Structure 1
Amino acid sequence: MRMALRALPLAFALAPLTAALTPIDALAQPNPAKMTFFITSAGLGNGADLGGLAGADQHCAMLAKAAGAGEHIWHAYLSTSATDGKPAVNARDRIGTGPWYNATGVMIAQSVAHLHDSTANTGKQTSLDEKGGMVNGRGDTPNTHDILTGSTPDGRAYPPGTDTTCNNWTSSGDGSARVGHHDRQGGGEFPTSWNAAHPSRGCSQDNLKASGGAALFYCFGIN
């Protein structure tokens, strides 16, 4: 009886701590049914050659399905340049209207305008992969914070004349791609930009790694 009484204060002391931790733990759990935004946990393995927009969209859909979010239509956040008589494609025009939530149910942005505003909830803590995992950023080994976009800060394609999309996501050799910093840290023209920090050193897997990337890209559920 004496031992049981001694245990009571400890139990009472731990109860508030347990109650306080529970909501935090719950928020950290993956919520695939609500997820409409993620960074790919892996690239396709061939540098910036993603098989064009169609190949990138397919990769988004495959990863989302494996994570339990296959009911959405998924598009990669990638722009393409005008070429061969075909008009440019703006990344911002192919991702739906929002709002978008990450794998743990945290809202990233309410709308396209909000997504491209400085108040968007993008960053290392919130721009997670489809499994709810954090993507390596500046200071991690390896650093993989360069995310392929081919886009301007407002989510549009660049004017013709400069390759910013690795030949519209079909090249793993010559060319360059505009990348963003998902952790909003680093160097480049716009170091804190999640979608337009600087150009890559090339289009091959090795060139992307050299500047802090792994050929990862953003995926958005458009419905």
Structure 2
Amino acid sequence: MLASTVSFAQNDEQPEMSFFITSVGGGDGGNLGGLVGADTHCQALASAVDRGDSTWRAYLSTQGINAVDARDRIGTGPWYGAVGNLIARDQDHLHGDTLEQARLGNGLHPFHARTESGEIVPGILTREYGLDVSKHDILTGSTPEGRAYPTGDDQTCSNWSNNSGGSARVGHHDRHGFMDNSWNSTHNTRGCSQEELIPSGGAGLFYCFAIE
């Protein structure tokens, strides 16, 4: 049994990466240059590891009259991480849209949800590996269903164009913390500046998905 398993692993081609967490943010807090700037950042990071042949989109929602749902930006799946692991088969699997899918859960956890180069993003559970500074707050601006929030309280740092005041909704890629541990909608940041993202465990990172 072991021999056949090893043989399968050796002969089976690893799926191409179609999901990653940005290794670095935009450097200006919640000001990512809007959705276009965030998408460009995803594309550049993917290109740096020879995956620029796909079209990449940031998993971010926006608010207002022309609100955009993050889930509608990222294609239909399946999505695989940098080390070939399955993140989600489709939208239902990713967001737990059905009772069964919610029970099963997706493949996002600290050792599978990695950067474009396959590095582990520091989180609460990785401290024992010497990664002491948590960066598990991942910008999304989204509800647990991957939808935009209604107009009102700022959940998107003014649609990813503001680096002061305001707030952004974040998820925890490591599913760990003191509040709800959703991968895409856990709590709000203290503000939108780079400095205000840090205290709760953030660095302005976000999810990127290949749509083709």
Shorter chain as denominator, the TM-score bin is: 0.7 to 0.9
Shift of 1:44: 1.1
Counterpart residue number, 2:56: 74
Which runs of structure 2 are paired with 1:130-149 in the superposition (5 Å)? 130-138=116-124, 139=127, 140-149=131-140
Counterpart residue number, 2:43: 61
Counterpart residue number, 1:195: 184
Aligned: 1:206 with 2:195: yes
Distance 2:40 2:83 in 1: 23
Distance 1:121 1:40 in 2: 17
Q: 1:120 aligns with which of 84, 106, 110?
A: 106
Distance 1:212 1:53 in 2: 23
Counterpart residue number, 1:173: 164
Q: Secondary structure of 1:207's match? A: helix
Which runs of structure 2 are paired with 1:27-66 in the superposition (5 Å)? 34-66=16-48
Distance 2:196 2:132 in 1: 16
Q: Are the aligned partners of 1:187 and 1:197 in contact in 2 as well (CA < 8 Å)?
A: no
Aligned: 1:186 with 2:172: no
Shift of 1:89: 0.2
Counterpart residue number, 1:104: 83
Counterpart amino acid of residue 128 in structure 1: R
Shift of 1:142: 1.1
Q: 1:153 aligns with which of 144, 154, 162?
A: 144
Shift of 1:175: 0.3
Gap runs ≥5 in structure 2: 97-101
Task: Provide TM-score, normalisation by structure 1.
Answer: 0.83
Q: 1:92 aligns with which of 66, 71, 77?
A: 71
**RMSD of equivalent CA atoms:** 1.9
Counterpart amino acid of residue 170 in structure 2: V
Distance 2:71 2:174 in 1: 20
Q: Secondary structure of 1:210's match? A: coil
* Pairs aligned (count): 194
Distance 2:49 2:190 in 1: 32
Shift of 1:113: 1.1
Counterpart residue number, 2:99: none
Shift of 1:187: 1.9
Q: Secondary structure of 2:206's match? A: strand
Q: Deviations over 1:162-210 (max 9, x none)?
A: 100000000110100000000000023x2x2100010011101111011
Distance 2:114 2:200 in 1: 20
Q: Deviations over 1:55-76 (max 9, x none)?
A: 0000000000001111110000
Gap runs ≥5 in structure 1: 1-18
Which runs of structure 2 are paired with 1:17-28 in the superposition (5 Å)? none
Give % identity: 54
Q: Deviations over 1:102-134 (max 9, x none)?
A: 011111000011101231111101100000110
Counterpart residue number, 1:9: none
Larger radius of gyration: 1
